[in-house]
């Protein structure tokens, strides 16, 4: 499969968002980091990350804390080399407390389609296990699973 590179159309932006979602749901920090430029810069909540080595370290910490992580991303807007998404993910901590985290991200890509900048804002909402909406087996979200808008999120 070829990398989806700018300039983006609505269809290519939607496919780019789904590929990002699939990668993060795979929870493989080394593989996910390859979607970013070697000098990629992030702001994730109040943490600043620079470069693939820091991305790998960040994601390794994240997925060691956020257990049974399941993510849905949805295209919000796009431009020539930028995409904005909104997303939600569910996870639990090592004490079994469940959360749904809501966020928005702004992405900027280089000409090859690698993400060079990622700015994320995220809020965590404690939820009861019965309030969970993301029940697919770990890994890629099935194509027939509802998206954020379909779930009323």
What is the pLDDT at residue 3? 84
114, 37 Cβ separation under 8 angstroms: yes
Task: Please state, in angstroms and rounded to a whole number, the distance separating the CA atoms of residues 46 and 48.
Answer: 7
Residue 80 CB burial class (10 angstroms; 0-12, 13-18, ≥19): exposed
For position 66, what pLDDT does the model report? 98
Domains and CATH numbers, the chain: 10-131 (3.10.450.50)
Distance in angstroms (rounded) separating the CA atoms of residues 81 and 151? 29
Q: How far apart are CA 118 and CA 100, in angstroms?
A: 21
pLDDT in tens, the chain (153 residues): 568 999 999 999 999 999 999 999 999 999 999 999 999 999 999 999 999 999 999 999 999 999 999 999 999 999 999 999 999 999 999 999 999 999 999 999 999 999 999 999 999 999 999 999 999 999 999 999 999 999 999
Are 29 and 56 in contact by the 8 Å Cβ rule? The answer is yes
With 0-12 CB in 10 A as exposed, 13-18 as middle and 19+ as buried, what is 28?
middle
The pLDDT value recorded for residue 1 is: 52
């Amino acid at each position: 499969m070829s990398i989806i590179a700018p300039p983006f159309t609505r269809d290519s932006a939607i496919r780019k968002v789904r590929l990002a979602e699939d990668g993060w749901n795979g929870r493989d920090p080394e593989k996910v980091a390859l979607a970013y430029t070697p000098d990629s810069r992030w702001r994730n909540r109040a943490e600043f990350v620079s470069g693939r080595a820091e991305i790998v370290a960040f994601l390794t910490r994240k997925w060691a804390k956020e257990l049974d992580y399941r993510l849905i991303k949805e295209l919000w807007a796009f431009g020539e080399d930028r995409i904005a998404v909104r997303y939600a993910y569910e996870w639990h901590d090592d004490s079994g407390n469940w959360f749904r985290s809501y966020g928005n991200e702004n992405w900027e890509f280089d000409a090859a389609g690698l993400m060079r900048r990622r700015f994320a804002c995220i809020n965590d909402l404690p939820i009861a296990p019965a309030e969970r909406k993301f029940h697919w087996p770990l890994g890629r979200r099935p194509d027939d699973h509802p998206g954020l808008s379909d779930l009323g999120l």
